[in-house]
Structures are given as structure tokens and as C-alpha cells.
Amino acid sequence: MRLGVCWYPEADDRRLWADDTMRMRDLGLQVVLLAGAAWSSFEPERDLFRWEWLDEAIALADDAGLHVVLGTPTANPPRWLVAEHRDAVAFSRFWQPRTSVQPLCVTATATRAESRRIVGVMADRYGEHEAVIGWKLDEAAASFEQMACWCGECASAFSRWLERRFDGDIAALNSAWGTVERSETYPSFDAVHLPRTGRGVNGGLVLAHRRFVAHQRRRFLDEQAEIIRVLSPGRDLITHHDLRHDDLDADVIAGVGTIVGIDNNLPGGQLFVRNGFTHDLGRGLLEGRPTWVLHQELGARQSVSVAEAPTTDHVSRVLWAAHHHGIETLLAARWRGATHGVDQDLVALLDHAGQPTVGWRGVEQYLREVGAADPNQLVVPSARCALVYRFDDAAVGSQPDHHRSVVLDAYSGARRCGFDVDVVPPGRDLSAYDLVLFPATRIVADDSTSSFESAANADALVIVGPRSFDMDAEHGHVVGPVPAGADAVVRAAVSTSVTLSTPAVMDPGGCEGGQWSESYRLTVDADRATKVLARWIGGGALNGAPAVVRRGNVVSMGGSSTEAWARLITALTGRKLAPSGVEVVERGGVEVTIFDPSAMPSLWR
Amino acid sequence: MRLGVCWYPEADDRRLWADDTMRMRDLGLQVVLLAGAAWSSFEPERDLFRWEWLDEAIALADDAGLHVVLGTPTANPPRWLVAEHRDAVAFSRFWQPRTSVQPLCVTATATRAESRRIVGVMADRYGEHEAVIGWKLDEAAASFEQMACWCGECASAFSRWLERRFDGDIAALNSAWGTVERSETYPSFDAVHLPRTGRGVNGGLVLAHRRFVAHQRRRFLDEQAEIIRVLSPGRDLITHHDLRHDDLDADVIAGVGTIVGIDNNLPGGQLFVRNGFTHDLGRGLLEGRPTWVLHQELGARQSVSVAEAPTTDHVSRVLWAAHHHGIETLLAARWRGATHGVDQDLVALLDHAGQPTVGWRGVEQYLREVGAADPNQLVVPSARCALVYRFDDAAVGSQPDHHRSVVLDAYSGARRCGFDVDVVPPGRDLSAYDLVLFPATRIVADDSTSSFESAANADALVIVGPRSFDMDAEHGHVVGPVPAGADAVVRAAVSTSVTLSTPAVMDPGGCEGGQWSESYRLTVDADRATKVLARWIGGGALNGAPAVVRRGNVVSMGGSSTEAWARLITALTGRKLAPSGVEVVERGGVEVTIFDPSAMPSLWR
Amino acid sequence: MRLGVCWYPEADDRRLWADDTMRMRDLGLQVVLLAGAAWSSFEPERDLFRWEWLDEAIALADDAGLHVVLGTPTANPPRWLVAEHRDAVAFSRFWQPRTSVQPLCVTATATRAESRRIVGVMADRYGEHEAVIGWKLDEAAASFEQMACWCGECASAFSRWLERRFDGDIAALNSAWGTVERSETYPSFDAVHLPRTGRGVNGGLVLAHRRFVAHQRRRFLDEQAEIIRVLSPGRDLITHHDLRHDDLDADVIAGVGTIVGIDNNLPGGQLFVRNGFTHDLGRGLLEGRPTWVLHQELGARQSVSVAEAPTTDHVSRVLWAAHHHGIETLLAARWRGATHGVDQDLVALLDHAGQPTVGWRGVEQYLREVGAADPNQLVVPSARCALVYRFDDAAVGSQPDHHRSVVLDAYSGARRCGFDVDVVPPGRDLSAYDLVLFPATRIVADDSTSSFESAANADALVIVGPRSFDMDAEHGHVVGPVPAGADAVVRAAVSTSVTLSTPAVMDPGGCEGGQWSESYRLTVDADRATKVLARWIGGGALNGAPAVVRRGNVVSMGGSSTEAWARLITALTGRKLAPSGVEVVERGGVEVTIFDPSAMPSLWR
């Protein structure tokens, strides 16, 4: 794993730069990311460009042997530009203009034009610079609420987008969304409005709005990519994601680039497993392409509560975790502590007094440990387990947290059995995997069906979790038994589906089944090959009914907890089960512990 | 109790209808409700009516011997109609247009005109159809926040409404609201604005705004009722309420109809007593008229957490509870599972695969049990207990939840003593009851005073709870001792009134007194007939002071908990006390258990 | 301590007034506050003044020997005036007009003109009345959110205010706010907008906005004060504060007056220490000037939950606490219970039936006890401890609650050691104190530096808490070691600064260090005089590192809890430590217990 750093020379004293780039090199860094937040520094007034400082910074990095990635600066337009385009400012659902982060609506014609202009100018100047190896496109796509805009241009663009999506056929939209319910039949695409409030809104509309927001972002980035590809041939294009949110479809957005870049902080206040999941989710977005961590925080911000102050060892372990999860390049955030702005309390490599921080020392320790390690143990092998994940599935129904819980249960269950896991979008051929998981893969469509069939037909062990294959691609409920497709293979269909505040128990095994719980009835064609592996204890109408059913290599599991997935997988694969919370993988024939809470319990409490 | 079902044939395949209506009949259903959500299906474009399908559906229902109730469709106007009347769209207090449920403001002139038009057309066509026995008016009136609108037409209508209410005399408004406080004296009715924020708003204004919202709804429904009465003579008019909310005055709205219809779900996640209270509250709105459950959910939605998945037995018990609480007709929601829209995860009688659900099986079980029961035990006798309930009382002060707690305490206390309870609005003659409860009947006015006097003079046992008779009808505090009126009978007045986070205890009895707690001082005219039945232990200034005082048949009780009401009632009536949580009534001389948590603890945990 | 009462004769029957003023005198009251909520009573229509009633009320008070304070009525403008100035109505950040309390924007030109007009008229009439001893200016400045306005006039006024603050130099603003970060460099003051949403906003902008809101209020009051000083010479000017909020700078506002007036309720539901802190904070705003409680609630409102109903003894203790904390005059809120409006459930001296309440009896008891007390014990001596408090410090970073916790920890630690405490703004000469505390005094500026140096050089014991001297006056992080200034004296600088959800422990002492936790490294110039008094146990990277460091009379303490401050102070001063929660001071050579939770645990639970 290659290390680098986010560098904001525009905020530092110019006399420090030469020394800083040499110190970066000496620390062992190989990449710097810059320019993405510096638009007002290189274009302080319209068409008045100041490139000298950026020329110098790039040259110094180059001199130090550092590769350079340039950020397109469109998330941080200069205030003079915002002032010129007041009508392009994004609005919240409460009519509040966004005045700080990503202030301009990416749908607005003016925003698009400015974006093309500045990217063109930058790419023209630096596109073929030999130090420049890639471009980061705009800033992280964060949560839906943060990225969505309710301005007038978005309102009409949404209608046009729907019109294209449904080939101009409003009857097709009405059919897909089932608008006959509650008399919501739309007479035209113009009559469909952005849903500004949540109560009682048709699920098809909600889901379409999410897709629209992701799509508008994709179009915005497409325009940048088209320009860069021409002016900066051969360079990588890196999309930027905050995968801790699951309400904006990163699959749609990632497709514009050649590298997926994710944000990460130290996993304080949450389970370590989310950290690994985020890596593997990022890794799954572009098949076979590298994945970067673009902005890795290496300490605890003052403004965030943690159970313990991170130690050098903590930081090193986090870097090792990224390594073992297959991250190719990781950029520390950031070189020097910011005196101002939203990253004011971020723990950089150097603090506000210019002293090395715990982040710096963690990087040193990690590189020292890598140097001392058996090279065979540094290689990340191909994963033998795939977990199918679709962002839209979290948008189905009103319980996105429960959805992610089930996904993380499945993921951590597999990891406790020592599996490296590829988190993959539906549609891939999964026949080469040993274990394939469909945890709450709600939407049944050609892509998810073909993935399921590729695995089921290939004799991979396939486990389908609760609330899978029960919705169509437009938020309609499946007509017929569910999990649709799997029911025919296992010959069992869901009989009761419920959200339990008090989990029921699966017997044998004694594992809790979590909140999303389903029982099965065997279908009329069930035969002796259909095996009931567990039944429910408790849960009211669930009690006594099948909870886990298997036929051949396909298993339907009606409940979910880390323990339940882990025990099922260990029972069916014979893999050794690590203690609760411990993440172990094989590297070069040796068991390597990525994370052990008993050895490092503190930050993750 | 007659059973029926909400039927949405417009959403189903037409080829299923004939069979479906026969299956309804065979299951034992007698009534279908339809058309209320189908406006866009019978008027897909302005003045282009498509009645054939509805004609057929009604005919099929008629053929199957089912009675038909038609819903007026005004809560679900077609999108083409909403698009024509953008200025009639309702707005939230945050300026958000309501785009989905009940999108049009019922005050708006355009909404009113469209309402009269479509109801006229429907009533003209079906008003005298022999299968049609009634009309449901619009949709459920839910919470205040959901029903209120802050548009411009509402703003001026509010001023006009106040002008009529105060006979054009702004001085009368100022006097009633005590606007001399804080210099809020209004120069004119036009100067009174809808309260868009809550902080520091005069209570009289808040209360008037609530009344206005209920009144506008009433006027809206009045217009529909006037048309239907002419064109559909002799048919019932059913108003639709969600009585789980108490911030919109159902008394005002119910008066337009001949039958009260309520919504209900399975009582998961709350005490069963609320279920019974809701029935009895609905039953009390129109004296001597039938009460329906219009929309009874018979399973647990996926989107709602429950302690256990409901069983057939659960469902049957819920139907029995409705029966024993005097519901005349109950409609299951709904025939087939909706594939789309807000009821997508509602558990219908048939699931998305067309299979019978737990709801279906519960209906079967209930009807089987009814068939096997002693007919004497099926008759619901007249209640011997009345509980006086005024919706506006919950709007007095800032603690509506505490208000409802006190009401439910009193209600469940009486039920644990085996009383059937009539929940009645103030103003009725209560002289025929054995037991009359005034729990937190805050507003003292002619109606509540006359009800109190009718009971007190008739030698009914009368119990007045904390915070009763302390406010006037415009949210002014009573000048003089409280509970006003009762103080003179009992010869004791409230000395301290407080909200306790840690309840104090009533001695003897040892019951907790709840949060709203008051002590009494005996007035100068108290004599030996004034008996202090209990004193407070704890509660600071309450300690040692009278908590319950009786004189003759009237009791003032300064605290409230289910246990306190139950023990006081059992002590004063000699009635047997059922164990905590158990609801027992006498039917045909036999004790019948409506609900026993030890036998069915699960869903209601 | 002198007692008085808020009197609203405009809301009472005029026939009660003469008797009421005599009863006030007989109870022992000496001051009445009136007129501040009565504008519509003395100017019911524009330019139609009705002074007779106010003349009479003042004359009656005068006859009874009561001093009169008049409130300027601008927080409660008549509705006819609001109706004339719709464009001057204040707006929330969600575009909601404020319709009730303080409805007009104090920036608006129209509001300012009306304010000058009415204050001029009042001061002209009553300014030289012999009974009038002072003027209360407008109403309490409450929380930032309640006082801020987002109207158009505020938006442009904010730009103009910044322009003056930065001497017309936009580059100076950009430098101070570090807008080079994220490309937020402003091209002009007009391009700086009011921050309507919170996400990602530059800290300098947030802090400036707070200052602007306080400054606009100050300017508004300045205009009133200028008029009164001319027309009512020699009278006191009283500013009105609600110091339970810390997000509006009371220092800025208090400067306009000669007396600080604060609001207070009975300290139910919170620690008693906050009650004393509020007094001492108010007392510190105007050095050497009297402090009043303008609005002391003497009972528990029905709408607020308390652990127990307050007793006469409770009320008396609260009055004693005010006495011992140096309050000069305390006004009970209010004479008669309000029948209407937001104070409808406030416990006045007389209840709605005209009967004395627990408040009345508490006043009687307090005055009786004062009369019986040793006069030496009634004198409040000069405090020997100063605690430096800056309102802006709470606005730095995103954890205002943690900031106030640290402040209250330090305050109560000192009080448990028997210190009277002066809470003072930075900038004062503190050389005369024995003990000087800088708990989370974040902003390092000339004023805080000079206060620190005055104490450090004078051999006072100086204790600097966590997160002190780490930010500059415009929300920039200090460049260099922190706590800046103290680091050079103690010769130790912060090495790790973190917010812990699980507090670490300081050893020896065994005290928890709270949430804001910092460890120190000794600097290169540290010598044997630099003593590590305690080290951290736990806390991850904190573990084993210095937690408390002393050199000479200056101590840096990296954690905070009441216990930690108390034990450190007792160890370093030799003062006796009172049990947890007990507040003891010396009065006339005798230990006086202000508050003992074991004797009176109830309301404050």
C-alpha cells in the first residue's frame, strides 16, 4: 500500500514548502493531492489567474519524487463566483440556501458552465505535466440530504429526467409506481414534483428522487471527465465517496472514473467492522481497478467523542487494516493542522505548532512494520466470498438502518470465518466464489437475478438473508412468493415477515435473529432435499416455523445477527470461527489478525 | 358486530373481481367500502368520466349480497386537478407544500368547489343505488399538524372566523384572551395571525387556531353532506377519525354525520387499554348512533417494530375487543395487499401472492367463536360509568401527553373494576350513570358544569381528577378556587398544583399519584361530612396535605395512576378489582375477559 | 438584600391597586417594576396616550413608599404597531416570522424609530418623577436562536458591521477567518452572508454572527439609554439578561447600563450550583455595580416537571442564596397570578384566587430570618477567588455544553473549598485575588493575556483548565504550543487534546478528568521547579502522561470535574473541603451553609 498526503500549500507559509516536500519524502510518502480547495487562490478574480504558486508547489513535489494528484475545485468555488450566480445556489428542503460546503447546485446551467471552464483551464495547464498522475473529481459525495437540492432548476430537471427514464411514456411511470393507489396517477411528467416532505410519499417517487440526485452528480462529473480525458491523457480519474452514508448510489457515480477514492476517519465510536466494510465496498465499485483512501484521518478530532485518545499503535493498526483490505493508496488528511475552517480540529501529520502528531508516528510505525514483514504476508489474495450490495436497497421501505445492520451482520459473519469479502453490486458473474451472500438484497431485477443464478448454478454456497428479492426496481412489492427466485430453488417461501423489537431465537444454534425476521413455509414442490436447518423460538406467529431452510447449495435465512451468520457459515463451510469481534485472514499461508478487540479495545468501545 | 372490508378494485386485475366478491361473502363479510381513493380512475381527465368499472364493482358486490359504502374521494384528488390548482395546495408551518396525502387546503375556494362538484357527480350517479347504504366523507382527520395549513387563504379565513366567533367585537377577543398581558391587544381581527411558531404564543390564540382547523374541516364536510343528503336520501354519512391523536376536535367533525368511523391498527407497542379507549371515545361522539372501525389493520406492518409477530389468536382477540366495546361494523384494511403506495406493507386479508394472511385466519376464528358463543354474551349492555372527555382539554397548557395519561388512568381504573365506560363529551345529562369520572376535565364552561351537576345531584359517584375545572373556554385561568364548582360541593380547593418527575404517594393505599399532582385545603365551610380519604407522602410541599377528599357522592382526587383510580373506585363501589392489566366485563351474567396480558403478553409488551 | 416585585396593574382590577401597594409595603417589599409590558395600555392607538392609569399606579406605589422602576416596553409592541411595520418583523432561520415574543427585528430602521419615540415619550413624562429610581431596558436577552433575526435588513447590516469591524479591509477579514481554506476568500463585505445553516460554516463567520447579534442589541439599547440619560438624569439603567443561556454575549449588552438584572427561576431539575453561578456571573458583568434579580420565580410552574413541590423553606433558601451571592435587589415574579399569556402558570405571590402562595410565605420567612440574623453574617465580603469567563469561549468549537461543564466544575470546586467567587470577563486586573481560575478560557487575546499575567505575576494561585488559550479572537487556532502564555510559565504544553466519552482518571487523587481531556509534555526549558502533580490513568494515548503540571504559582490542569478542581484547590490552598454538593462560606467569622443537599435534596434531584 502506497502512502501519500493531502497538501494545502495555499494555506501554508511559502517558505515551508521546499522543506515540507522533502520531509514528506523522508517520511515515506509517495503521493500528494492538492489544488482541490484552492480555486480562489489561483483565480482570485474572474479570469485573473495566479498559477505561479501552484506551479512551484507541483515542481517541489516533483523534485521530491512525489506523484501529484490534482483535485478539480468545483466543490469550493470562489465567493466572487458564487456572488455572480446567486440563482445557482443550492437549496435545502426547508428553503435554506447552502452557503458553505458545495454551495452551488450541480444541476444548474451556470454551475455546469463554470465547472467546464475551470476544469478546462486547469487540465490545459497541468494535464500533461509529468508529475501529474491523476485527477480527483470534485469533493466527496456525502449523504443524500447534503447533496440533494430543491431549487427550481432541479424541479424541472427531475421531470425531464423522468421523461427520459420512462421514454416519454407517462403511463409507464404510473404503472411502475402503482399510482392507481390513492389516485396519484400523473397526467404528465411536469406534474411530478420533488418530494419536499416525507409523509405519505409514494415509494417509487422517493426512490426516483434518490436516483435523480445521484444521476445529476454523475452528469456533472461526466462533463469534467470528458475534458480531462482529452487534455490529460492516460491519467487516472478518481471519484470521491463517503461510504459511511448509504443513501446516495456510489455505483452510479463511480462509473465515471478509473479509481474509487473513499473518505475515512479513525473508527471511533463504531464497530471496527464498518471500517473494513467501507474499504471492501469501495473496492467493489470498479471491478479490478485500484481503490484509494483519499482522506484518512489519523487522530481524533476535539469535536468528536471517543472512548480513548488514539495511540500510535491504533493508527498503525488502521493503516494495516486498509492494507489487508486491499487499498492501493492511502492519503493522510492532512500535512499541517488547519488553523481555520471545518478541518480546524482535524489531527494532521503535523500539529499547529509544526510538531509530529500521533498520526505521523503511526505512519512511521506502519512503514517500519511493513519493512520488517514477510513479503508473502503483504499480498492481498483474491476474496473467496462475495456479498451483493445495492445502494438502492437501503432506500426501499423506511428502515435504512435495519438494512445496513443486516448487511453488516452478514459481512462480519463471513469475516469471523476468515473470509476476505468482495462487496459487489448486483449484475456480476459470481460463479468463481466459494460463498455468496445476499443479505437483504431487496430489489429483484435482471442484475440481481443473474448474480444469484451464476452463484447458485456454480455450486457456490449461497445464503439469502431476510427481506431479499421482495421488491421490484421501482419500489413495487413483488407479486408472488418471496424471496423471488430463491423460493423456487430452496422450495420455501416467506410466510411471515416482521420487524421485531425483541429478537426471537433460532433453534438449534440459539442465535438471536435480529429485527428483520421472517419465517418460511415449504412450497408444494418441496422434497426431502429441502432441509429445515433451524426453527424460530418465540416471535409470536414465528414460533416453531422454519427460520433457516436449505436445498442443495442455497440457503434462505429468515433472521440476521453477526452470530447467526457466523455460525451458519462455519457450520456449512467447516471454517474455523474466530472469537466475537476478531478479524483474522490468511496471508501467505499464515493467520494474520487484522483486528482483535481484546488487544485494542479502547477506541472502538 | 358486522364485518366488512376496504376494497380497492381499481388496483386489482378486473378478472379477479367476481371471484373476490364471492370470497368476501364466503368468508362472512357483509360490507365493502370503495371508491374513496379512486378519483383518478373514474375521472382520468377533467369531465371525462369512466364509471363502467365502478358500476361493475358495485354490481358484483351487490350480487354477492354485500352492502356498499362509497368514500368521497376528496382526500386523494387526481394529480391533473392538483396541477390545475397550485394555489390551493396546503402548506406546512415550514412553508413546505403538501404533495402527497390530502394535498389541497380544505379552506381554499378552489378545493371547496372541486369537492362539491365531484361529490355531486358521484351522489347523482350512485346516491339511490340499492346496494349503497352509506357514504364515508373524505379521509381520516389525523393530527393537528397534519391537518393544519398555513396558506394565505387560511390566514385570512382565520381572521374572518374569529370575527364571527366574537360577533365582530375585537374587544371581546382581547378580553377573552387576556391580551392586556404583554401588550398583545389586537386592533382588529385582521391583525391576528396564524401562529407559525410556538414560543411564547398566547394560549387563547393557540386554542382558537386548533378550533379553526377543526371547524374548517367541518365546513368542508358539511358541504359534502348537504349534497349527499339530497341526492342519496336515507343513507348514512360516516365521518372518519384517527382518535390516536387528540389534538383535533373529533366532536366538532363528527357532528356532520350519522355514524362515527375510526381507524385502528393492532395495538402493538402500546397498552391494550388505549385500544378500548379509542373504541369508547369514538362511540361517545354521536349519542345513540352506531360506531364503525373503518380501517382495521389485522397484522403488523414490516415498517413498524413489534414485540412479536401477531398470531391468529391475537387478531381474533382484537376483533372480540371491538365487539365487546360496542363497535357495530368493522372493516378490515384491506382485501388484497397493496403493491405500491403508503399501504405497501400493510397486512391485508390476502397477501401479495394472493394467499390468506394471519388477518384472514383471525377473521375466520372470530366468526367461528361468535357462532359458538352464548348469544346472551354477545350483547353489549349499557355502560354504568361515564368518563367526560373534551378534546380541547388536551390543548390547554403544554403537556398534552400528561393529559391523556390522566384520562387513560381513570379509564383503565374503571375498567379494572369491571365497568363498561361511555366516554362522553361535556354537556350530556349524566344522571343515569352509577359512576362519573372527570379526569383532568380542565375547561369549566356551561357544558361541563351542567354535566357535573347532573351527576352530582343524581347521587352518582363522581370523581374529579387533578387539573380539573381550572381553565375557562378561551384558555384563561379560572379566577377563584379550583376545581371550580366541585370545590363548593366537596368544600375543599386545590392548594398546590405541580408536575412531579418523581411521583408522590397517597396514604393510605400506597398508590403513586403520577405527575400531575395537587393537594387540597379544606375551605372554611367544610364540615364533618368533608372526609379526607388520603394524604400525600412526599412531594415536597404536598407532604401531609390532603390528596383525596370526599363529601357525599363527590370526590376530588389530586393525583392519578391506574392503580389509584382502580383502588378508589373499588373502595367506593365495592366492585371486585381485576388484576393489573386485565379487562373483565359482565356479559349475560357471566364474567368475560376481554384482555388478559398473562395469556397474551406478547404484542403489547 | 432589598426585595421588590414585578407588578402588572394593567392586568388587574383597578380597585385592587391601593390595597395591593399597601400589602406590598406590609410584606416588606421596597421596589416595584412596571410598565414594560403595558405599551398597548398607555398607547392603545397611535399617538393616543392613556397615562392616567399609569400615573395613578405610580402614585399609589409612591404613597406606599415603594421605589419605582419603569420598563421600556419595546419587547412588547402593540399589535397595531406591528401591523403597521410588517417589514420589520423578525424572521427565524427557517423563514418563520416571530409573531409573539419580541416580534420586531431590533436592526430594522422602523423598530429603532419606534423605540426612540416611545422611550422619549415615557422618559419625558416620568423621567424626573421622584418615585422613579431606574429604568429597565427592554426584555431579557435570551438565547442566540431566540434573539437572532435573518431578515433582509439584518443581512445587509451584517455586511456593514463587518466592514466597520475590519476597517473596510476585506483582506483583513479573509486573513482573520483563514478563508484561504476551502477557497472561501470573500471579494467584498457584501458577499458575506448570514449563515442560515450550520453545516461546514467557517468558525470565524459563526462567531462574527453571534457578535453581530449581541452588538445589534447593544446598539438598540444604546439609543434608549441616550434618551433616558437626558430626560431622567441620575436614574439607574438596568439591562436584562437570561444567563442560563451562554450563546449571547451579556458583556457586550450590559455595558449600556449601570445595573445588571438577571432572570431566575427556582433551581428545579438542575444543580443548585448553576443558581449561584448565574448570580456571580451577573455580578461580574459591571465591576463594582449592583446586581439585581429582575424576575425571580418563587414556585414551580405547572408546565415544568420538578422532583418535589417547592416548600416555604425552599423559597426562603433560594432568597438566602441570592443574598449570600451578593444580589442587591431581588424582584419576585410577580404580584398576582396571570390569568392569561405565557406566565399563566407562573406561581406569583398571590394566586388566581388572590391567596398568598408558597412564594409569599417564603418571602415572609426570609425576611423574618434576616431580621433575626447576626448583622455581621449578612454582609457579603469581597471574594478571594476570580473565575475568568468569556461568553465567546462557548461559541468556539461545537461543544458549548462541554464548555459550560468545565466552567461549572471549576466554579463548584472553588465553592466547595469555601471561596466566594467573582466570575469576571477577561481584561481585569486580578492581582488582588488569592485564587484565579481559567477553566476553558479558550480565546487568547490581549485581555485574557493581561488578566493571566496580572494574576501570575502577583503570586495568586492560578489554575488553567483544559482547552485554554488555544484559539485566537476570530476563531483561528493558535499557531504554536498551548495553553499559549501559560505554557511558558509552567514550561509544559498540551501534547494530546481529546474529548472522551469515558473519562480517564488522574493519579494520584483518583478523580475523573471529564470529557475535555489533555495531556502535557514538558517543554525543553522545564526545570526542577516544574512539577508533575498528577498523571493520567487510562485514556489511550493519555495514559501515563502528565495531567496536572505546576511551576510556582501557576498550574495547568488537563482534565475537569468538580471533584478534580475541589481536590486540587484544597491541596494547594489548605482550605477545608465541604462534602460533595454542599456550599459553605464564611460570613462574619462564622461558617454559613448556603446549600446542603442532605438537608434539602428534593427539588434539585
Rounded distance between C-alpha atoms, residue B347 and residue A165, angstroms: 32
Beta-bridge mates of residue C531: C550
Selected for mutation to probe chain A from B302, B346, B365 (highest A CB count within 10 Å) is B302
What is the total residue count of chain A? 605
Residue of chain B whose alpha carbon sits nearest to that of A396: B303
**Per-residue confidence at B604, pLDDT binned at 50, 70, 90?**
very low
CB contact under 8 A, C181 and A100: no
- Which residue in the set B197, B539, B540 is minimally distant from C96, CB to CB? B197
pLDDT band at B143 (very low <50, low <70, confident <90, very high): confident
Q: A40 and C95: CB-CB below 8 Å? A: no
Does residue B147 contact residue B98 with C-beta atoms inside 8 Å? Answer: no
Q: Which amino acid is at C538?
A: G
Q: Is C267 exposed, middle or buried (0-12, 13-18, 19+ CB in 10 A)?
A: buried
The whole-angstrom distance between C55's CA and the closest CA on chain B is 18
Average pLDDT on C166-178 reads 98
**What is d(CA A348, CA A338) in angstroms, rounded to the nearest whole number?**
8
The rounded distance, in Å, linking the Cα atoms of C554 and C126 is: 53
CB A597 within 8 A of CB A272: yes
Q: Which candidate from B96, B269, B311 shows the least CB-CB separation from A541?
A: B311
CA of A25 vs chain B CAs: smallest distance (Å): 54
Name residues 72-101 of chain B within 8 A of C (Cβ): 93-95
The three cell numbers locating residue A197: 416532505
Chain centroid to CA B178: 31
Whose cell is 454538593? That residue is: C581
Residue A143, pLDDT score: 87
Contact B359, B312 (CB under 8 A): no
Neighbouring C-alpha atoms within 13 Å toward the C-beta of A399: 20
- Say if the Cβ atoms of A99 and C196 lie within 8 Å: yes
Residues 281-300 of C with CB under 8 A from B: 300
Residue C356's nearest CA partner among C376, C340, C332 is: C332
Backbone φ, ψ for residue A446 (5° rounding): -55, -40
Nearest partner of C579 among C592, C551, C552, C598, judged by Cα:
C598
Contact B195 C99 (CB under 8 A): yes
| pLDDT above 80 (res A192) | yes
User: Does A303 sit within 8 Å of C191, measured CB to CB?
Assistant: no
- Residues of chain A with C-beta less than 8 angstroms from the C-beta of B97: 193, 196-197
Measured between beta carbons, the chain B residues lying within 8 angstroms of A178 are 11, 338-341
| Average pLDDT, integer, range C233-254 | 95
Q: From the candidates A150, A158, A181, which should be mutated to test the interface with B, based on the most B CB atoms within 10 A? A: A181
Residue linked to cell 494532521? A348
Å from A454 to nearest chain C CA?
Answer: 45
Residue listed under C-alpha cell 443581512: C155
* Helices and strands per DSSP (H, E), number in chain B: 18, 22
B103 touches chain A (CB under 8 A): no
Q: Which three cell numbers stand for residue C299?
A: 414556585
Q: Which of A302, A304, A241, A303 is nearest to A270 (CA)?
A: A304
pLDDT of res. C582: 84
Residue B388: per-residue pLDDT:
98
Partners of B499 on chain C (C-beta within 8 Å) are 300, 302-306
Nearest to A92 among C197, C200, C504 (CB): C197
Chains touching A by CB (3 or more pairs below 8 Å): B, C
Cβ-Cβ contacts under 8 Å for A278 (sequence gap 6 or more): A243, A244, A262, A264
Q: How far apart are CA B561 and CA B514, in angstroms?
A: 6
For chain C, the average pLDDT equals 94
Q: How many residues does chain C have?
A: 605
Point out the residue among A193, A502, A504 whose CB comes nearest to the CB of B99.
A193
For residues C57 and C80, the answer to whether their CB atoms sit within 8 Å is: no
Contact indicator for B600, B314 with CB cutoff of 8 Å: yes
By Cβ distance, the residue of B182, B479, B539 closest to C308 is B539
Is pTM, for the whole model, over 0.90? yes
Q: Which residues contact A478 (CB under 8 A, 6 or more apart)?
A: A444, A469, A470, A471, A472, A484, B352
Single-letter residue type at B231 = L
Contact assessment for residue A514 and residue A559, using Cβ atoms and an 8 Å cutoff: yes
Cβ contacts (< 8 Å) between A204 and chain B: which residues? 340
C-alpha cell at A563: 452470530
Q: Which residue of A has its CA nearest to B80?
A: A187
Pick C100 or A211 by higher pLDDT: A211
Which of B79, B83, B101 minimises the CB distance to A199? B101
**pLDDT tens profile C187-210:** 999 999 999 887 789 999 999 999
Q: What is the largest CA-CA distance in chain A?
A: 79
**Helix (H, G, I), strand (E, B), or coil: what is residue A142?**
coil
Is residue A401 within 8 angstroms of chain B, CB to CB? no
CB contact under 8 A, C305 and B184: no
ipTM value, please give it.
0.94
Cβ pairs bridging A and B (under 8 Å): 173
Chain B residues lying within 8 Å of A476, measured CB to CB: 339-340
DSSP string, A408-450: HHHHHHHHHTT--EEEE-TTS--TT-SEEEETT--B-SHHHHH
CA B38 vs CA B18, B75, B335: distances in Å: 19, 10, 15
The residue assigned the cell 407532604 is B543
CB-based contact, A181 to chain B, within 8 Å = yes
Q: Is B400 on the interface with C (CB under 8 A)?
A: no
Q: Residues 518 to 547 of B: which have CB under 8 A from any C CB?
A: 519, 538-542
Report the C-alpha gap between A555 and A466 in whole angstroms: 11
Query: For residue C599, what pLDDT is reported?
Result: 64
pLDDT at C605 over 60: no
CB-CB contact of A539 with A507 (8 Å): no
- Cα torsion B298, B301, B305, B310 to 10°: value is 30
Distance from CA of A203 to the nearest CA of B (A): 6
pLDDT for the residue numbered B271: 58
- Asked whether the beta carbons of residue B100 and residue A181 sit closer than 8 angstroms, the reply is no
Please give the C-alpha separations between residue C356 and each of B407, B494, B542, C298, C346, in angstroms, as whole numbers.
Answer: 31, 13, 16, 12, 14
Identify whether the C-beta of residue A90 lies closer than 8 Å to the C-beta of residue A103. yes
CB-based contact C490:C555 (threshold 8 Å): yes
Contact B473, B395 (CB under 8 A): no
Collect all residues of chain C within an 8 Å Cβ-Cβ radius of residue A339. Answer: 178, 476-477, 479
State the pLDDT confidence band at A270, using cuts at 50, 70 and 90: very low
Is the confidence at residue B351, as pLDDT, over 90?
yes
**Mean pLDDT of the B90-116 span:** 93
pLDDT in tens, B354-381: 999 999 999 999 999 999 999 999 999 9
Interface test with A, best of C150, C197, C498 (most A CBs within 10 A): C498
Q: Is the pLDDT of residue A252 over 80?
A: yes
- What residues contact residue C293 under an 8 Å CB cut-off, 6+ apart? C261, C262, C263, C264, C279, C322, C327, C329, C330, C331
Q: Which residues contact A501 (CB under 8 A, 6 or more apart)?
A: A515, B269, B305, B306, B307, B605
Whether residue B525 contacts residue B492, with contact meaning beta carbons closer than 8 Å, is answered with: no
Q: Say how far apart CA C548 and CA C543 lie, in whole Å.
A: 13
Tell me the per-residue pLDDT of C268-317, one tens digit each, with 9 for 90 and over.
Answer: 544 567 889 999 999 999 999 999 999 999 999 999 888 899 999 989 99
8 Å CB contact of C501 and A306: yes
Contact C483/B at CB under 8 A: no
The H-or-E segment that residue A63 falls in is: helix A52-63
Model confidence band, residue A601 (pLDDT cutoffs 50, 70, 90): very low
Q: Note whether A344 contacts C187, CB cutoff 8 Å.
A: no
Q: Tell me how far apart the alpha carbons of residues A583 and C290 are, in angstroms, rounded to a whole number.
A: 66
Judged by DSSP in three states, A497 sits in strand
- Which residues in A lie closer than 8 A to residue B73 (C-beta atoms)? 183
Q: How far C188 CA sits from the closest chain A CA (Å)?
A: 8
How far lies B32's CA from each of A182, B273, B572, C116, in Å?
Answer: 17, 28, 46, 69
| pLDDT reading at B490 higher than 70 | yes
User: Is residue B50 within 8 angstroms of chain A, CB to CB?
Assistant: no
Residue B542: closest C-alpha in chain C = C309
Option in A178, A191, A515 nearest B340 (CB) = A178
Backbone phi, then psi, for A403, in 5-degree steps?
Answer: -60, -50
Band of pLDDT at residue A397, cut at 50, 70 and 90: confident
- The Cα of A41 is separated from the nearest Cα of chain C by a number of Å equal to 7
Q: By the CB < 8 Å criterion, does B378 face chain C?
A: no
Residues 27-46 of C with CB under 8 A from B: 37-41, 44-45
Give the per-residue SS3 of A340-386.
Answer: CCCCCCCCCCECCCCCECHHHHHHHHHHHHHHHCCHHHHCCCCCCEE
Contacts of B340 in chain A (CB under 8 A): 177-181, 202-204, 475-477
CA atoms of B167 and B522, how far apart (whole Å):
41
Please tell me if residue C597 touches chain B, with a CB cutoff of 8 Å.
no
The C-alpha cell at B92 is 406546512
User: Is B379 in a helix, a strand, or coil?
Assistant: coil
Under an 8 A CB cutoff, do B314 and A540 touch?
yes
Report the share of chain B in percent with pLDDT over 70: 98
